[in-house]
Amino acid sequence: MNEYLTSNRDLWNHWTRINFQSKMYDVPGFKAGKIPLDAIVRAGIGDAAGKTLLHLQCHFGLDTLAWARLGAHVTGVDFSDQAITQARALSAELDLPAQFICCNLYDLPEQLDEKFDIVFTSHGVITWLDDLTGWARIIAKYLKPGGLFFMADAHPTAYIFDDEHTDDLRVRYSYFPKPAPDRFDVQGSYADPANDFRGVEYAWQHSLSEITIALIAAGLRIIEFREYPYLAWKMFPFMTQAADGWWHLPEKFPPFPLMFSLKATAE
């Protein structure tokens, strides 16, 4: 891995310890039987019982194991060794069968040689990737003919705004990709901003055209694309969470896309 990805891996190792204890992830609730998958993800993938599912960038495996609880035969992949260690421990504790692989996403072919009915990834994943062409090829490689790829993530439009400004939306970042990632000083984690940990994050901006062209070039056929005026997490400090769990902007802002979901199939 290059210096940026190595730094991000170290960050996620720290975040694993923070996030596992956070209210946002609610691990005790999951252990008690809660399914943390949101309505968009559940509807996008549908009934996964009896199907093989590959979860890319799975963190410490909560969503991966949720699919196992729903009857899927799951494999989770993440580059954080702390996250994968925690995922394996949670799998064993709850007796939810799962395979977890620790590696950089682009190196997965060196460790896994299977085909899957479903490849899945969601919420806050795209900006951690420096090469979408390689990412899309990984997805295509692991899908069975007729298999489903589903993703849900923050809309690239949302990432152009300053997420540190406390009362307004101000354009701060490029919509289009740049040669080098943006660098951010981090306190705590997105799940627990008050934590006293401090680190560094590197993030890559990707446009919608870059995302879709990468998938098409890898041989996938996009069959559904949707946009939503809300998010799965609190990106801006002035967002509020509705009863359905989604985070919304104040009504003073006209609606614009904050999140998208996409389905594609392998020919």
Query: Confidence class of residue 122 from pLDDT cuts 50, 70 and 90?
Result: very high
What secondary structure, in 3-state letters, does 123-180 show?
A: CCCHHHCCCHHHHHHHHHHHEEEEEEEEEEEECCCHHHECCCCCCCCCECCCCCCCCC
Look up the CATH number of the domain holding residue 159. Answer: 3.40.50.150
Give me the domain span that covers residue 252. 3-266
Question: From CA 59, how far away is CA 19, in angstroms rounded?
Answer: 10
Burial class (CB in 10 A: 0-12, 13-18, 19+), 244: exposed
Q: What percent of the chain has pLDDT over 90?
A: 96
* Of the candidates 168, 158, 93, 99, the residue with the CA atom closest to the CA atom of residue 127: 158
- What is the per-residue pLDDT for 164? 83
pTM summary value: 0.96
Using DSSP, state whether 6 is helix, strand or coil: helix
Q: What per-residue confidence (pLDDT) applies to 166?
A: 79
Pairing mode, strands 240-241 and 247-248 = antiparallel
pLDDT of residue 1: 64
3, 188, 184, 252: CA torsion to nearest 10: 150
Write the pLDDT tens digit of every residue in 46-99.
999 999 999 999 999 999 999 999 999 999 999 999 999 999 999 999 999 999
Q: Please state which of the ranges 6-10, 72-76, 163-167 shows the lowest mean pLDDT.
A: 163-167
Q: How many domains does the chain have?
A: 1
Residue-averaged pLDDT of the chain: 96
Per the rule left: phi > 0, alpha: psi between -120 and 50, beta: everything else, 123 is: left
